[in-house]
Chain A
Amino acid sequence: MKPTDIKDPEYFHKVVDCQYACPAHTPVPEYIRLIAAKRYTDAYMINWESNVFPGILGRTCDRPCEPACRRGRVEEEPVAICRLKRVAADNKGDVKQHMPQGPFEMNGKKVALIGGGPASLTVARDLAPLGYEIHLYDEWNKGGGMMRTQIPAFRLPEEVLDEEVNYILDLGIHTHFNTYVDSMKEIIDKGYDAIFVGTGAPKGRDLKLPGREEANANVHIGIEFLANVAFEHVDKIGEKVIVLGGGNTAMDCCRTSRRIGGKEVNVVVRSPFESMKASPWEIEDAQREDIPIHNNMPPKEFVVEDGKLKGVIFEKVRAEYDENGRRSLVPTGESDVFIEADDVIIAIGQDTFCPWIERDLGIEFGKWDLPVLDKETFQSTLPHVFFGGDAAFGPENVITAVAHGHQAAVSIHHYCEGRDVKERLAPMTNLVSQKMGIHEWTYDSTVPDDERYLVPHEDKSITLKERKVEVELGFDQETGFKEAQRCLNCDVQTVFTEDKCIECDACMDICPTSCITFTHNGEEEDLRTRLKAPANNLTQDLYVSDVLPTARVMVKDEDVCLHCGLCAERCPTTAWDMQKFLYNVTKAH
């Protein structure tokens, strides 16, 4: 193998598994260390700069970082990254003084943002300090988009949402609330220099089944139901509720139902439990509230008697997979199941909805009626119109919308300055030795064996009565510290300098997870089999040095490195050094 090019910013970025997996590439270990040091404000600001909504995401994020966490490869559970973020948000001091302070010197450019959700708000935050006059349009009376309409208050208190939305609106954003934009042409005619569409995926899918029409009064679409509850247009539901669907929206619907009158709430999913789209922790939370989940039962028919919904008939199926892994649901032949219901909520997915964009404006639409976009710049076929969030490539999550927003803001800024929209600056990176004295590091290099701490919950008897009482209480500072200490500091990189190495083997001997091997070079496939421990995780790179005096090379399998610094502590010549790698995605501001 060729010697690893550690100057490539993506090499060490990839070693920081959590940050690499995060769509917004938040420097996770950096803020976790600050939490351990009780520097909550600083930890919050690192998050705020990267993901804009630390308090919101610390409660509701889909956490792509956690399955990626290296800790999950050496023991059962990853670090509770998401809930640590909330610790920063809960305990922060005055953060506003660290944010850009308006009024900003205007640059004379006007940008319209359609939709007030996370993508648009991110664009607003990135562009406002640069002097753009930002006009934000939303159909509701407040900003936040789906974070307000689709995430129930018992998961995300309104105060938290308002606070973080207002940090952005306070940057001098011109808000046009209670304004449903029903014509793109009208917006274009207003002469904005750029337009950003962040209208999400506001259309819940329906289910065309026998009896659907007749039962209409008691059949609800999931996200509409959630929005109606959030805006207090709906405050009760029948005692017997069926929720159809296995995603996070279904979990929110069933738990909301339990709080507004639902006593027997059943979630029914057409596919097996393992393939449910909902996050495992949201499924657990639903089960904890006595909500059974029935799997392998596609609905067949709404049963209506005397014009009133009685329940739903379900078929029983099992999943079979062909050689390509494609699933088909095959009837088991068992008799159908009838479940009684006063109300049924359909939460089987949602789609983007853009009939308000006239099709003769030059904005092309492609497959699934999604806009034709450049995948990196988010620019549509009409050069001054950009898309982001769910409206761009279909439903994802908040953190993805934020990542889109940052990139779209860069594009809009370039576009308005007359620069090449495709131009993207390299990320900011920094690599600094953590050596402090002979064998001391500026980071806490010990690896405690504590198991993942559980977030305490408010008593069920309270939360099921009061819809707005938050279920999760968050870690207290002490538990937050202990959980933070579980972080392996993967951003503190093991950096090897071959011309200092005397090949004493000390690093190889001490490494607790057998990551380091000195051997003769070979092709990657061959090298992976010849290491001290098999390097079977192909998603993790091998760090290979240049040839050493004994004609061998140093090979380090990054897979389960604990970043404990022992290799560097046992190195007599500092050929190994622990160096902190900071990687920041370049944003417009």
Chain B
Amino acid sequence: MTDRLPGFNTLAIHAGAAPDAATGARATPIYQTTSFVFDDVDHAASLFGLQAFGNIYSRIGNPTCAVLEERVAALEGGTAALAVASGHAAEFLTFHTLLQPGDEFVAARKLYGGSINQFNHAYKNFGWNVVWADSDDPSSFEAAITPKTKAIFVESIANPGGVIVDLKAIAAIAKKHRIPFIVDNTMASPYLIRPFEHGADIIVHSATKFLGGHGNSVGGLIVDGGTFNFAGDDRYPMLSKPRPEYAGMVLGETFGNFGFAIACRVLGLRDLGPALSPFNAFLILNGIETLPLRMQRHSDNALTVAEHLQGHSKISWVSYPGLRSDRYHNLAQEYCPKGAGAVFTFGLKGGYEAGVKLVSNLKLFSHLANIGDTRSLVIHPASTTHRQLTDEQKTQAGAGPEVVRLSIGLEDTQDLIDDLNQALDAA
């Protein structure tokens, strides 16, 4: 007697996006407005008191952004989501909702360099202390847990590429210690990996990457899995204690299994302000409609290019879990059998100098600090994204001096291979 849930391709196009109630517009309208009129004074009071569903002001919520939120919540299989200005904002609001000054969280050491910076430096100002664990060794997460640990954070496929994290093993540790398990699913997208199915409680995204997919809009999302019971848990006062901001309301109780997403919105987004523009939400939504098609092509193309590079005389190693010889191939088969994503790294025999030359010589690959574009992208992390890290941190993060990262786009693979060949010849 259950209502059958539509398939992933259908959700990617339809979830959250019914025709506009007022006009019948079929594409999601860009509600480019700061504010929304109230029906009357009582309606305004209901909205401000979180007693009615509706729109007040676009810093707190916007109908275009809401379509994006429901779309991504549906694709990940979560209860609710919150769209924010960037992937960093998604991480920030997530930790703001979970941590108090003096608290700790355990994070995998292999992460996007920007997240490493955020955790190591910016978060120190709030008294949130990161404790690093070995991405390849789930027991190191357990060893890092203390009574102050409020969250565990990993990337499902870790930047700068080539690492698949054993989500189930880390989820089991998080469950055992009753700690929310946060997964950054940016690199995989829900098409390749759905972390809630492997025990995640919260998912964050940089929608800038594969969700938007066209390199035109920065944005982020927080998705609530509805799986962690915050109500009555004194460790999480944002969700379990009466909130003075809302006349004593207990958010985790009032909003049940989507209380975390609501708390991120009404305590985080409302007061800290990193709202997503409705125009960006529209572009990201447009991108998501083709997510299943693009992610498959990204992965297929990446495998073709990685296989080619593996045999190249100037390359010492290629780290792509789609390759049969890769150390993460078995984990990739388990977690992302459709493909291992667009992004991977390789090592140049010529080291740092060869990396700098290669990015200069490429003509089709764009040298820039992003991933997940229709265009193929290249970066030399040691001289750019990971520049601020120490040499030891660079190597630990998989961004040593000889490492080059590619984000393979949707072009013809022969053109990509030709461009890499000519640039390697000249490097």
A and B associate:
no
